[in-house]
Amino acid sequence: MNLFLIAVSAALVNNVVLSQFLGLCPFIGVSKKVDTAAGMGGAVIFVITIASAVTNIIYSQILVRFDVTYLQTIVFILVIAALVQFVEMVLKKLMPPLYKALGVYLPLITTNCAVLGVALLNVQKSYGFVASVINGFGTALGFTVAIVIMAGIREKIEYNDIPESFKGTPIVLLTAGLMAMAFFGFSGLIK
């Protein structure tokens, strides 16, 4: 039950994009089409989940053991960069259209603060291996839900008559703010 609460909390209550405001660059940049947003969400799910597992092992088995926990941020960034390179190679080989659609945003997962944020939160909350993986998966799932919903809304907004001063980024940010308020309603789920 505790692991389920961690997953629900990470995905809905403490949504990484709409509550913690991490990972906004790909959230705004890739959320123009639902297909592309879903592909980015899948890549983020893979990277955050695997990064949570790997960083937990490295932190508990190496950094703590040798009393070099002050290196955690540097080590976590290197692990995340390696995982993103792996995902990029796999997508380029197996799914070239998705690779081209994601464009520059795929390498930006390396600098996506949500990925590093989850790894650091897992350490800060003293999660064990399983709890870290569940938290990472829940966080990535929440990111995917948010980016796909935003993409769906943006596809619909495209056909609306919007005042000139709200076209483009302003309407996207206003929509993101309304989504954040809607996700705030989930805060009563976890006590």
Residue 23 region, left (φ>0) first, then alpha (ψ -120 to 50), else beta? left
**What is the full DSSP assignment across 145-186?**
HHHHHHHHHHHHHTTS---GGGTTHHHHHHHHHHHHHHHHGG
Q: What is the pLDDT of residue 100?
A: 84
Q: What is the pLDDT of residue 182?
A: 92
Q: What is the pLDDT of residue 88?
A: 86
Cα torsion 125, 108, 143, 27 to 10°: value is 130
Q: What is the pLDDT of residue 191?
A: 60
Average confidence (pLDDT) per 10 residues, the chain, 191 residues: 89 92 88 90 89 96 96 93 87 87 75 89 96 96 96 92 90 94 85 60
Q: What is the pLDDT of residue 117?
A: 94
Tell me the whole-structure pTM to 2 decimals: 0.88
The letter for the amino acid at 121 is L
Closest CA to 180 of 149, 151, 139, 154: 149
Q: What is the pLDDT of residue 154?
A: 94
Tell me the C-alpha distance between 190 and 132, whole Å: 18
